[in-house]
Structure 1
Amino acid sequence: MSSNSITSTAREHVFPLFVKYVSANVLGMIGYSCYILADTFFVARGIGSDAIAALNLVLPAFSLLNGTGLMIGMGAAARYSLSSGRADSEIHRTIFTQALQLAFVAMLFFFSIGLFFARPLCVLLGADGTTLPHAIPYIRILLMFSPLFLCNNLLNCFVRNDGEPRLSMTAMLVGSLTNIVLDYIFIYPMQLGMTGAALATATAPLVGMSILSMHFWKKKNQFHLVKTRIHLKTAIDICRLGVSSLVAELSSGIVILVFNMLTLKFSGTTGLAAYSILANIALVLVAIFTGIGQGIQPIVSSHPGKNGAPVRNQVRRYALSTALLMAFIAYLVVFVFAVPIADLFNKDKDPLLTSMAAEGMRIYFVSLFFSGINMVSATYLSASDQPVPGFIISILRGLVLILPIAFLLAALFGMTGIWLCLPVTEAIVCVVTFFFLRKF
């Protein structure tokens, strides 16, 4: 089903189309986020607390890598759908190739950092003598395998926009399952430690791309590689439309970086280990909202202008309602099962670690009710060709507000203030979000 058929179908059957795209993308993103969660579980159980602390320290670098892939993929796919009414136009014909060229530039950057600057990067992120031996091999391998992550993100976005959300979902889920299986094999029987965990994570996108390549063998495939050179104007346009996705991912990395420093200051390595459990669980829960946003993007982008406003508004209502429902279910599960969830990642059965992590979950994840609205709305606005308000929402929650609020609440309330930081920030941003939704 091409983006043109998305348009014609959505006018008559918005809700079935919404369910088709959103369900596939939510499941796919949950599977994709399990890359790191699987690492956390096996690293925690198979290597120990120093390794899990190291894993958490390098997560911001992975967020930047993943966010860059999403920015290029989501931005280019949005422009692809927005131009679908003129399928013979130059931009519609060449956007995939130009996005791939832009991704290649990003690949060179990340690959070079991983090859030459892995140790300085780990030190910059806060690794010390106990965590450096675990952090360096992990981040070096991830960054040197950046071509796989970036190409996988790009293909996922285009295949989804080209009418194949289920194929995109399948690729992400099978890739995640591969990661989990390889994590077990590399960490336990083969005893490869953090190197094994990184190799398992880096191999999964290759599996995903193998599945996505099936789309190219179908006659209904609408995007192809063509002979063209990258245009600066197009590259800027891709980044402009996708920047909210980058900022959303970066916000997770920035929050992790700041919280790493604060938890070390107030509670030492036990606090850092407790926060690392929350941070990795948050990757999966936030992936739900990312999936909703990615699911509505092809539908919203295929209905530009005043004529498409009724469909866009209807999709927005469905998306926000779904985000709130998923937030309620997720928070209920976390609240009730906080202690057993914390115990899963507590190899040494440290009661202080379990207590601290369980208490943190019940406060920290109140943020889900607000972050769901903020994340879905930012993607919706960008998909509607309104990237500026989408960017403002993302930058407020990811940088402008989160940093001063984190330091203020930590100074006033210690670890409780750290857990409160994200709910307070997301609630304030939610007010701004509703202002933009009313305006646009």
Structure 2
Amino acid sequence: MTSKQTNSNFLETEPVSRVFFKYLIPSLIGMMLMALNIVVDGVMVGNRLGPVALAGVGIASPVFTLFLAMSLWIGIGGATLFSQAMGSKQTKQARFIFTHSLVLIIVFTIIIGLTAFIFREKLAFLLGANEETFPFTIGYLKVMLLFGFIFTLENALSIFVRNDQNPNLAMISLIVTSTANIGINYYFLYVLNLGVAAVAAGTLLAAFLGVLVLLIHFFKKDNNLRFVRIAFQRPLFINTMTVGFPSFLSEIGISVFTIAYNVTLVRIAGTAGVAAFSVLNYVHGVMLMMFLGMASAIQPLISYYHGAGLPGRKEQTIKIALKVAILAGIAACLIGQAGARQIVSIFGDFPEDIMEIATTGIRLFFIAYLFMGINFVMMTYFQSVAQIRMAIWITASREIIFMMVFILILPVIFGINGVWISVPLAELVVMITVAIHVKRHREFKTLFKVRS
């Protein structure tokens, strides 16, 4: 029996629950360590450089999100097609898709980064910087825009390694990236006394180390991620961009969310409001990484089973994922209600006005996690089976359409609390629309039934 047959049989013959958790656990560990990395970055910046510097980095964060969005757009789109091809035993086509996707990612992110670098000062103010935060925002932007392609390459390569049935190496690369980032940034901030530009440089240097770890996969005998000679294929390009678009839109939605909250809060509560949101946004990043870890676990499996024509295993996978998402959401919400003030205090000794705003914000905002995990899992499911319209609807509605409607209306009625509850209400409304869609379509009749 060949290595390829062994891997395929593992996905097709092992109990679905065992396969799911073999993917889920490494994905969650890796993503949560990356989340810890994000939080520690915030803690170090907040404690070493102060709340204004923390706010400045928070304002620049949509650029980081944009690079992540590009890597997910092409990476998830290409990896989904890769796994579908592997499921239908089209290995040659799978390798072509992999090479085609990596080339697209590198070219696109370099062009975007250099273009944005030319207009970096205007971009900083567009993102919400003011006279206080501008020096910190621009310092972060300069480095990230020039060298952000390193991060996109690392993230996309990690996605493909996971889809090539090596979730453990993808986890190890995230462990190396996150621990290296913490160590490097500690050295830059506390030993060399550098600023936020060094924080961006540390993030990219750590990502480069992650790439080196991922390259180990190419030396495995059962590796299917092999570079082949390619020519640009317009149909494949369109298909990759279409399938991956919900992932791109999801990350762009995070940027829209960050900008909308920064602009609204600076108008309502000034720099104190932006600083409070920066704390919440770091914590929110942890939760997003957790849900992204779930999505990263189910996407390769759903895509493979869809390509292999195994609907029963596909349905069992999504059923287990929904249960995990619901339990995680309940736990996160309870932690937010009980420990909001303690969470804020981790990021620094803030003035009381910032402390109160951030504490209330966490308690209200964390209600969103009751619904967010379900929406995340269902979006990934629809994307993985090429029901792109529904995947786009979930993403656009929860992160852009309903969120923007609520953040424009609710602060007028409820003040700053209206800002915090905009996302929870958006998530709830979208979850209801997903439930209606599932109830109306026959293909989901067996989704919540136990199948042997």
Task: Give your verdict on TM over 0.5.
Answer: yes
Alignment CA distance shift 1:277-1:17 (3 Å): same
Amino acid at match of 1:286: L
- Asked if structure 1 preserves the Cα contact closer than 8 Å seen for 2:39 and 2:283, the reply is yes
Q: CA deviation at 1:89?
A: 5.9
- Asked if structure 1 preserves the Cα contact closer than 8 Å seen for 2:87 and 2:306, the reply is no
Q: CA deviation at 1:307?
A: 4.2
Aligned residues: 439
- In the alignment, which residue of structure 1 is the partner of 2:320? 318
- In the alignment, which residue of structure 1 is the partner of 2:366? 365
Q: CA deviation at 1:37?
A: 2.5
Deviations 1:263-307 (A, max 9, x none): 111111111111111111101111111110110111111112794
- Asked if structure 1 preserves the Cα contact closer than 8 Å seen for 2:77 and 2:245, the reply is yes
- In the alignment, which residue of structure 2 is the partner of 1:160? 162
- In the alignment, which residue of structure 2 is the partner of 1:282? 284
Q: How does 1:301-312 map to 2 (within 5 A)?
A: 301-304=303-306, 307-312=309-314
Q: CA deviation at 1:93?
A: 2.9
Query: Does residue 1:399 correspond to 2:403, yes or no?
Result: no
The separation in 2 between residues aligned to 1:128 and 1:378, in whole angstroms, is 36
The separation in 1 between residues aligned to 2:218 and 2:289, in whole angstroms, is 27
The separation in 1 between residues aligned to 2:369 and 2:37, in whole angstroms, is 21
- In the alignment, which residue of structure 2 is the partner of 1:255? 257
The separation in 2 between residues aligned to 1:261 and 1:67, in whole angstroms, is 21
Q: CA deviation at 1:8?
A: 4.9
Q: How does 1:166-315 map to 2 (within 5 A)?
A: 166-304=168-306, 307-315=309-317
Q: CA deviation at 1:186?
A: 0.5
Deviations 1:249-276 (A, max 9, x none): 1211111110111111111111111111
Q: How does 1:24-63 map to 2 (within 5 A)?
A: 24-63=26-65
Which SS does the other structure have where 2:192 is aligned? coil
Query: Does residue 1:102 correspond to 2:70, yes or no?
Result: no
- In the alignment, which residue of structure 1 is the partner of 2:356? 355
Alignment CA distance shift 1:242-1:381 (3 Å): same
Q: CA deviation at 1:33?
A: 3.3
Deviations 1:131-187 (A, max 9, x none): 111111201211212221111111101110111101101101210111111111101
Alignment CA distance shift 1:139-1:6 (3 Å): farther
- In the alignment, which residue of structure 2 is the partner of 1:432? 433
- Asked if structure 2 preserves the Cα contact closer than 8 Å seen for 1:76 and 1:238, the reply is yes
Amino acid at match of 2:420: W
- In the alignment, which residue of structure 2 is the partner of 1:327? 329
- In the alignment, which residue of structure 1 is the partner of 2:449? none
Q: How does 1:131-170 map to 2 (within 5 A)?
A: 131-170=133-172
- In the alignment, which residue of structure 1 is the partner of 2:345? 343
- Asked if structure 2 preserves the Cα contact closer than 8 Å seen for 1:7 and 1:299, the reply is no
Q: CA deviation at 1:35?
A: 4.2
The separation in 1 between residues aligned to 2:52 and 2:22, in whole angstroms, is 42
Q: How does 1:74-153 map to 2 (within 5 A)?
A: 74-88=76-90, 91-153=93-155
Amino acid at match of 1:363: L
The separation in 2 between residues aligned to 1:389 and 1:240, in whole angstroms, is 12
Deviations 1:312-358 (A, max 9, x none): 111111101101111122222222221111112233x3122112111
- Asked if structure 2 preserves the Cα contact closer than 8 Å seen for 1:377 and 1:437, the reply is no
Which of 72, 75, 90 is residue 73 of structure 1 equivalent to? 75
- In the alignment, which residue of structure 2 is the partner of 1:411? 412
- Asked if structure 2 preserves the Cα contact closer than 8 Å seen for 1:36 and 1:201, the reply is no
The separation in 2 between residues aligned to 1:25 and 1:358, in whole angstroms, is 30
Amino acid at match of 2:200: A
The separation in 2 between residues aligned to 1:233 and 1:3, in whole angstroms, is 30
Tell me whether 429-438 or 275-284 shows the greater mean CA deviation: 429-438
Alignment CA distance shift 1:237-1:402 (3 Å): same
Alignment CA distance shift 1:115-1:253 (3 Å): closer
Query: Does residue 1:383 correspond to 2:384, yes or no?
Result: yes
The separation in 2 between residues aligned to 1:388 and 1:30, in whole angstroms, is 30
Amino acid at match of 1:383: S
Structure 1 gaps, min length 5 = none
Alignment CA distance shift 1:371-1:44 (3 Å): same
- Asked if structure 2 preserves the Cα contact closer than 8 Å seen for 1:7 and 1:303, the reply is no
The separation in 2 between residues aligned to 1:375 and 1:238, in whole angstroms, is 20
Deviations 1:88-115 (A, max 9, x none): 4653230111001111221222331353
Amino acid at match of 1:284: V
Q: CA deviation at 1:207?
A: 1.2
Which SS does the other structure have where 2:278 is aligned? helix
Q: CA deviation at 1:81?
A: 0.7
Which SS does the other structure have where 1:401 is aligned? helix
Which SS does the other structure have where 1:224 is aligned? coil
Which SS does the other structure have where 2:306 is aligned? coil
- Asked if structure 2 preserves the Cα contact closer than 8 Å seen for 1:73 and 1:157, the reply is yes
Tell me whether 411-420 or 331-340 shows the greater mean CA deviation: 331-340
Tell me whether 298-307 or 360-369 shows the greater mean CA deviation: 298-307
Query: Does residue 1:14 correspond to 2:28, yes or no?
Result: no
Alignment CA distance shift 1:125-1:247 (3 Å): same
The separation in 2 between residues aligned to 1:158 and 1:296, in whole angstroms, is 14
Tell me whether 88-97 or 24-33 shows the greater mean CA deviation: 88-97
Alignment CA distance shift 1:91-1:437 (3 Å): farther
TM-score computed with the length of structure 1 as normaliser: 0.96
Deviations 1:183-211 (A, max 9, x none): 11101111111112111111111111111
TM-score computed with the length of structure 2 as normaliser: 0.93
The separation in 1 between residues aligned to 2:154 and 2:21, in whole angstroms, is 24
The separation in 2 between residues aligned to 1:3 and 1:194, in whole angstroms, is 49
- Asked if structure 2 preserves the Cα contact closer than 8 Å seen for 1:55 and 1:135, the reply is yes
Q: CA deviation at 1:5?
A: 2.8
Structure 2 gaps, min length 5 = 444-452
- Asked if structure 2 preserves the Cα contact closer than 8 Å seen for 1:278 and 1:357, the reply is yes
Amino acid at match of 1:279: N
The separation in 1 between residues aligned to 2:316 and 2:260, in whole angstroms, is 38
Which SS does the other structure have where 1:303 is aligned? helix
Q: CA deviation at 1:6?
A: 4.5
